[in-house]
C-alpha cells in the first residue's frame, strides 16, 4: 500500500475536513499548485508545483497532476464529508478548473 492510498483511507473515514488551495494567482488564467487538507488529527499537503519558495527552497515531493483525479474520485466524491473552506467560492472554482468537484456539504468560513 503506498502512502497516498493510506492517506486517502484515513481522509475518507472522516466526517469533516478542511481544505485550502494554493494558486499561482487570483486571476482566471492562474492555476492550482497545491492543496492542504486537514482532518482533526493531521494536515496533509499535496504539492503539484516544482517552483522554489520565497527562500529558494525546492519542494521535497512533487505530485503528478493526475493525483487530482484520484482525489476527485476517491475523496471529493464522498457526500458524507462536510468540507470547511475559507472563501469556498474561489477554492471550488480552482478545483473545477482541474475537473474536481466536492460532493458533500461545504461550509464557507468567510461568510
Interval 38-80: pLDDT, tens: 999 999 999 887 666 667 666 567 788 889 999 999 999 999 9
Which residues are CB-contacts of 73 (< 8 A; sequence separation ≥ 6)? none
Interval 24-34: pLDDT, tens: 888 878 888 89
What is the distance in angstroms between the CA of the first residue and the CA of the last residue of the chain?
40
With a cut of 90, say whether residue 92 has pLDDT above it.
Answer: yes
Half-sphere exposure of 47 (CA within 13 A, CB side): 11
pLDDT of residue 1: 40
pLDDT of residue 16: 98
Summarize the confidence of residues 3-18 as an average pLDDT: 96
Q: pLDDT higher for 61 or 1?
A: 61
pLDDT of residue 5: 92
With a cut of 90, say whether residue 91 has pLDDT above it.
Answer: yes
With 0-12 CB in 10 A as exposed, 13-18 as middle and 19+ as buried, what is 99? exposed
Amino acid at each position: 500500500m503506498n502512502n497516498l492510498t493510506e492517506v486517502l483511507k484515513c481522509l475518507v473515514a472522516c466526517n469533516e475536513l478542511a481544505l485550502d488551495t494554493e494558486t499561482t494567482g487570483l486571476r482566471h488564467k492562474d492555476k492550482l499548485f497545491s492543496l492542504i487538507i486537514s482532518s482533526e488529527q493531521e494536515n496533509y499537503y499535496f504539492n503539484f508545483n516544482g517552483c522554489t519558495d520565497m527562500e529558494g527552497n525546492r519542494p521535497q515531493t512533487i505530485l503528478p497532476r493526475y493525483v487530482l483525479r484520484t482525489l476527485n474520485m476517491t475523496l471529493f466524491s464522498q457526500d458524507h464529508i462536510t468540507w470547511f473552506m475559507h472563501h469556498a467560492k474561489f477554492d471550488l472554482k480552482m478545483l473545477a478548473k482541474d475537473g474536481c468537484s466536492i460532493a458533500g456539504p461545504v461550509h464557507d468560513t468567510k461568510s
